[in-house]
Amino acid sequence: MSNELHGQKVAFLVASGVEQVELTGAWDAVENAGGTPVLVSPEKDSVQAFNHDVEQADTFPVDARLGDARPEDYDGLVLPGGTTNPDKLRTIGDAVAFAGAFRRAGKPVAAICHGPWSLVEADVVRGKQLTSWPSLQTDIRNAGGEWQDSEVVVCDRDGWTLVTSRNPDDLPAFTRELIAAFAAA
């Protein structure tokens, strides 16, 4: 299969409040493609996932503390959404720097729903085409990005691939394109 990840390590940057299906859908896709997903978080032991930002779902163990994680140790980055998770991350300097480091290194990033908030905060969406949950479109445009209302947007410019989607309904297209982008990296 041409989209095999062959053991690539993929960081999933999350905080409590992550939308469970956006985390697990992408996580499973990376594992099924032969990659190694790693949950990176500013939280110490585990993160609390939610369903639709209102109903507590499962907790997930933290594999690497954000302060100890090094972007150079990973082949790509996934930024799942939910509202609370990315809102927390964009206020944590180390999380913003971690996300921005993937852009500077030319490593692929995939973000869904509110996930692009960290990229907006890292000032790496200027001149890039992307999508998100609709309420982020003004933030993205104000940061110089070109927002589109599409199931999935793959932007491959300036030696960097960014894959974005709007919401959990887009997960099949999102996971297909993130695996293709990570495999090509």
Return the active site residues: 113
Contact between residue 82 and residue 117 where contact means Cβ atoms under 8 Å apart: no
Among residues 81, 125, 130, the alpha carbon closest in space to that of 103 is found at: 125
Contact between residue 152 and residue 163 where contact means Cβ atoms under 8 Å apart: yes
User: How far apart are the C-alpha atoms of 146 and 127, rounded to whole Å?
Assistant: 7
Among residues 86, 110, 124, 128, the alpha carbon closest in space to that of 171 is found at: 110
Handedness of CA 133, 134, 139, 143 (dihedral sign): positive
Here the tokens at position 42 are: 């500013």
Helix (H, G, I), strand (E, B) or coil at 179: helix
- Sheet containing 109-112: give its strands across: 64-65, 36-41, 9-13, 76-79, 109-112, 160-165, 152-157
